Amino acid sequence: MKISIVYDNNALEGFTAGWGFSCLVEAHGQRVLFDTGCNGNELELNMKKLGINFSEINGVFISHAHQDHIKGLLHILGLTRKIPVYILDSFSEDLKERISKLAKTIEVKNAQEIEDGFYTTGELGTEIKEQSLVIKSEKGNIIVCGCSHPGMDVILKKSQEFGTIKGILGGFHDFDKINTLKDLEIIIPCHCTKKMQEILSVYLKKSIMGKAGMVFDL
């Protein structure tokens, strides 16, 4: 499994940083783009620098409807063939309609397998509904999350229904139950993680701050 961070608040030299998050997950013969940041042009530029072929993207997974995770979507869909986009059932009808003009929309409400080896937690949370992506691996499953608005503890509990969790990558927002991560082998906080330095300090040997341009073989 390979995960390339293609959009984040922080970036390696030569890549463009921007508020938001996006990564490309390559596993089980599929290439799934998770979220699309807040600027489609910057996202496209970073993806090209990583040598990503837009025609080879099999689908897009949107965690939630905040601009820093979805604003680049329509731009990217203009570069791909008409691929599936996994969105939440709770998205506005206007947003659903705009996406459906460029892609095949698949509305998600409950936890389920969406592609071979790819699972969604389904809609979690109350005020801000969000879904996270779980990728199956014989070495232990990996979670990719957008902002973790429902709470990392809630996401972890739901994701464990699909098997043992090895690691997690994405935005942790204001999550402060740091001890909840103790059993994970890989911790890659990105984007909106407010407790970034504390997490990196507590899990010094198994955590790293994610940045646009980073590529992980997990």
DSSP per-residue codes, the chain: -EEEEEE-SSB-TTS---SS-EEEEEETTEEEEE---S-HHHHHHHHHHTT--GGG--EEE-----HHHHTTHHHHHTTS-S-EEEEETTS-HHHHHHHHTTSEEEEE-S-EEEETTEEE--SB-SSS-B--EEE--TT-EEEEESS-TT-HHHHHHHHGGGS-EEEEEEE-TT---GGGGTT-SEEEEETT-TTHHHHHHHTTTTB----BT-EEE-
Using one digit for the tens of pLDDT, what is the confidence trace for 186-216?
999 999 999 999 999 999 999 999 999 999 9
State yes or no: pLDDT of 154 exceeds 90: yes
Token couple for 12: 């390696």
What's the mean pLDDT in 43-69? Answer: 97
What's the mean pLDDT in 106-128? Answer: 96
What's the pLDDT at 65? Answer: 96
Token couple for 54: 């837009």
What's the pLDDT at 5? Answer: 98
Residue from 108, 192, 114, 109 nearest 148 by CA: 192
Share above pLDDT 70 across residues of the chain, in percent, rounded to a whole number: 100
| Residue pair 144/170 in contact by the 8 Å Cβ criterion | yes
- The predicted model scores a pTM of 0.97
Q: What is the mean pLDDT of the chain?
A: 97
What's the pLDDT at 143? Answer: 98
What's the pLDDT at 138? Answer: 87
Long-range contacts of 53-58 (CB under 8 A, 24+ apart): 54/79, 54/80, 55/80, 55/81, 56/31, 57/24, 57/31, 57/32, 57/33, 57/83, 58/30, 58/31, 58/32, 58/83, 58/84, 58/115
What's the mean pLDDT in 173-188? Answer: 95
What's the mean pLDDT in 90-97? Answer: 96
What's the pLDDT at 62? Answer: 98
Q: What is the distance between the alpha carbons of residues 21 and 2, in angstroms, rounded to a whole number?
A: 17
Domains belonging to the chain, first-starting first, are 2-217 (3.60.15.10)
State yes or no: pLDDT of 23 exceeds 90: yes
What's the pLDDT at 89? Answer: 96
What's the pLDDT at 119? Answer: 98
State yes or no: pLDDT of 81 exceeds 90: no
